Each structure stands twice: as structure tokens, then as C-alpha cells.
Chains A and B, each alone.
Chain A
Amino acid sequence: MDRADDAGVYRINDDLALIQTVDFFTPIVDDPYGFGQIAAANALSDVYAMGGTPKTAMNLVGFPLEQMDISILREIIQGGVDKIREAGVVLVGGHSVDDPELKYGLSVTGFVHPDRVLTKQNLKKGDHLVLTKPLGTGIINTAIKGGLASQEIIERITRLMAQLNRKPAEVMSRFEVHACTDITGFGLLGHLAEMVTGSGCGIRLSGHKIPMMAEAREYGQMGFVPAGAYRNREFRENMVEFGRSVDRITQDILFDPQTSGGLLICVSGDDSESLVRKLKNHDIPEAAVIGEVVSTPGEKILVE
């Protein structure tokens, strides 16, 4: 591939290519087990986003041995391992270093058929865009950091972030999907901007159709928008145009950096309704068609 994508792909032969990816970060939530689950789901996601199946994984650990009790690390790794097993992936090793700042993640290897690799490119006019998880994790995590969220919200959002993109990946493999990516740190608009650049097409989104968590609106309005959202906006402002009915908080959520977000699937327009229906039948209730690929304005995103 000549452009950076969700993961690295290496062709072995006509039927098999290897996907390689790595991802790790500092704690997202306070619960060590939950953190392990989220970090693992996040790392595996890049393989699913390329249309592949993850096969093996290795742990990456940075741990402050002097300052923290080793039982915390055990919990984190247990969370990661349980998630890895849930994905049908084999843990083949790992590496840890003594680090003043706690970090955890995975290096993941997956398989994909060379002809079925899904990149961020290849948008076709008339395609529809489907999103599988609701937006708002950045804002809600900021509010959690500020001590404002209830335990129920913390648990709910931990489950959301820990949710594998495995099922949506399996479902989408039966449809005519042209491009795919997972929504993470650049926010929905940031990742869409990557897809649109160099494609010769534009994107038109229906703001009210985009799944968002209600709590993200509340907390965002109170000013718990992470700095990353403002950076994302600054970076892509000139590519995005908002309609008059799109209020400020919606704009914030569309630029909100996500942690372990859903898949953004670019599917042939005729198939989108049936893809969403199948996704909903497979426990992905928030799946929705959020927009379409248009020919003009090229290389721009319109949000209505």
C-alpha cells in the first residue's frame, strides 16, 4: 500500500496477506481489568477495520514497579487476556519494562485475503456510510476524570469501549464494502477526512442520524470537551461545513476523539439498509446509516 492505513499489510501469496498492528496507551478508566479489556479491544480493532481476522497477539507493558502493587498489573493483563480469548486470538508472548507511567496494549497479527483488504480509500459515489458505535467517549471520559459521572455511566462506557469490532467485521464481510476504518483519536470527522482526501469524492452527513451518547451532550455543554477535540477541529476545519441546524455541541461530538470506537463502513448504497438490519440483529443496536458519498463538493464533508 502506498498510503498509511489502519495497519500494515504484507502479501505472502495469492490467497494470504499478513496484517500487523500495534497499539498501547495510558489508563483510560480507573478499573484495571476494564483498562486491560479496552486496550485489547482497541488494538484488535485495527485488524477488523482492514477486513482481516486477528490471529496472534503479544502484550506490551510499561509498569511502575516501585510505586504500584503488582496485583494491579495482574488485573490489567487478565482483562486483556480475556478480551483476546473472546476474539479467538492466541496470546503468544509479550514484553514489559519498568516505567514511571503505566501503559498497556498489544501487538497484533492477523490474516486477510489480499483481494479483500479494506483500506480507507476507495470511496465510491453513491456509497453509504454506516457507523457501529455511538460517539462521545472522549467527552464522557473527561467528565469521569472530573469526578462528575455516576458509576453506572462509567460501567456503561467501559463496556462500550471494551466491545470488540469483531461482529461488525464478520457481518460486513458478506456485503459489498468498499472502504472501512475504525473511529479513534481523530474523531468521526477526522477519520472521515482521511477517507475523503485524495478520493475525488465528498461526504454528506445527516447530523441527527449519527448515534451519540446523550451524556456526551450534557457533559459537553458543561465544558468537558477534551483538548483533543479542539485540536481535531483546528486540523480539519477547512474541510468541514456545518449546516445552520447543527449546534455547537453536536460539532464538538463529531470532532470528539474516541477511544476504541466503532467501525465506519463505506458500503454500496443499495446494501446499507440491509447491512444495518443485520448488524442490529447481531447485537449492534446503535448501527446506523449516517451519510453518503457524493461527487461534489469534492474532498469536503458537509454536515446537515
Chain B
Amino acid sequence: MSTEIDCRGLACPAPVLKTKELVEQEQPEKLRVIVDNEAARQNVTRFLEYQGFVVSAREEGSDLYVTGHAGEEAGSKPAPVKTAESEEIKQKIMVMVGNDRVGHGDDELGLKLMVSFLNTLKEMGDELWRLVFVNNGVKMTISDSEVLPVLKELEERGVYILVCGTCLTHFDLLEKKMVGETTNMLDIVTAMQLADKVVNI
């Protein structure tokens, strides 16, 4: 006996929301959603497929019956979808490093804190999206920087490291940059706009 919900007469996006509620609360193996328009059929189908269901539909007069059978990954969590591009909804964090020290008061302590901070950044996991170095911060990216191995590791994991070109030139360090891409203010401002969160150190 499959679970059934009637979404006829409901305005978009209610059919998808009701289906979502059902899937999250009851995690059915099989369910049927009744809709009365093509757009709702398409959307409910897209949602169920995204959740890992195998979907089929049939017409009954003016109504459409959308049936979903749980595939291997079906469940209440957003299932990992087969296509490579799809990702879970997560935030993009941009961290902007404007100095080679963290905080004010004691420079030696500040340097220790910066090393510690950059070492711990990997705890942000996939959400760390852009790491930007400006002004004194660019010194973190040059050849004898203590944090170079950590930054290289982050870069390997897919974090975009952007290093301000104007700043490197100012300090005459352009050739000494060992990690990340040289960037400009337009890229930095665009990244700030696209990021969900911007952290300033």
C-alpha cells in the first residue's frame, strides 16, 4: 500500500513542498502524488528524482498521478545525485587576510596566532571557498613562509587562493609567490558579493 497525497488545486510550489514534507516525515518506499497540471507534474518528478526515487507518471482524465519508488539512495536527506555538478546546499565562505599578524598589541603573539589560524582553517571543510591575501597578508604566500605547506594543502583541496597583485608588486615579491593566483580588486569585490559569508582577519 503506497502513501498518497492529493495536490490538486494547489498553487506552485505547494505540490513540491507537500511532497517534501511527506518524504521527510515518513520516508516511504513508494508514494503517489496526484496533481492537476503539467508544471506540478514536472516539479514533483524533479524533486523525487533528486531524492533518489524512480519516477513514473500516468494520466487519469484531467489528473496526473506521479508514482515514486524508492531507489537505493532515497531518504529524507538530500540524496547525493548521480550528476557530478549537484551539491548539497552549503555556504561559500571567503576569508580575507589583510596582515601577516592576527590582532594588535604583541607582534610575536600575532604571528603565532596567524600561523595557528591558517593551520586551523581546514576545519571549515568544503565551506571554505576563497582565501584572499592583501597588504602584509601576501607575505604568507611567499617562499620562506611558515604556512606555505598548509596553504598548498588547502589549494589542493579545491580552495581558491587569491593573492593581491598590486600588493606583491609593492613589496617587490611578485616572483616569490609560491601558492595561489595573482588577483585584482575586481575579482576580490566580486568574490565578496558571491560569498555567503566574508570573514576579515
Contacts and interface: CB of A to CB of B under 8 A. Distances in A.
A269 interface: no
Contacts of B190: 285
Nearest to B15: A223
Given A142-B12, A143-B13, A146-B17, A222 B50 contact: yes
Interface string A265-304: 0000000000000001100010000000000000000000
22 contacts: A142-B13, A145-B12, A145-B13, A146-B14, A156-B193, A217-B85, A217-B86, A218-B89, A220-B46, A222-B47, A222-B78, A223-B13, A223-B16, A223-B48, A225-B42, A225-B43, A225-B46, A227-B12, A227-B40, A229-B39, A230-B39, A247-B83
A221 interface: yes
Nearest to B196: A152
A185 interface: no
Given A156-B193, A223-B19, A226-B12, 15 more contacts: A142-B12, A146-B14, A146-B16, A146-B17, A218-B86, A221-B81, A221-B86, A223-B43, A223-B45, A225-B42, A226-B39, A227-B39, A230-B38, A230-B42, A247-B83
Interface residues of B, number: 31
B13 A146 contact: yes
Interface in B157-201: 186, 189-190, 193, 196
A220 B19 CA distance: 15
Q: Is the interface of B mostly helix, strand, loop or mixed?
A: helix
B37 interface: yes
A141 B40 CA distance: 16
Closest 6 CB pairs of A and B: A223-B47, A223-B43, A227-B39, A223-B46, A146-B13, A223-B16
Nearest to B189: A285
B87 interface: yes
Interface in B45-73: 45-48, 50
Contacts of B16: 146, 222-224
A230 B46 CA distance: 13
Interface in B77-116: 78, 81, 83, 85-87, 89
A231 B12 CA distance: 14
Interface of B: 12-14, 16-17, 19-20, 37-40, 42-48, 50, 78, 81, 83, 85-87, 89, 186, 189-190, 193, 196
B11 to A, nearest CB: 9
Contacts of A247: 83, 85
* Highest count of chain B CB atoms <10 Å: which of A142, A215, A223, A229: A223
A227 B40 CA distance: 8
A178 B85 CA distance: 36
A255 to B, nearest CB: 11
Contacts of B20: 222
Interface in A121-150: 142-143, 145-147, 150
Interface in A8-65: none
Nearest to A160: B193
A221 B46 contact: yes
A215 B193 CA distance: 14
Contact of B43 (A224, A281, A285): A224
A219 to B, nearest CB: 9
B181 to A, nearest CB: 17
Nearest to B46: A223
Nearest to A228: B39
Nearest to A247: B83
A152 B194 CA distance: 10
A285 B45 contact: no
Nearest to B190: A285
Nearest to A150: B196
* Highest count of chain B CB atoms <10 Å: which of A215, A220, A226, A227: A227
Contacts of A146: 13-14, 16-17
Contacts of B39: 225-227, 229-231
A16 B44 CA distance: 52
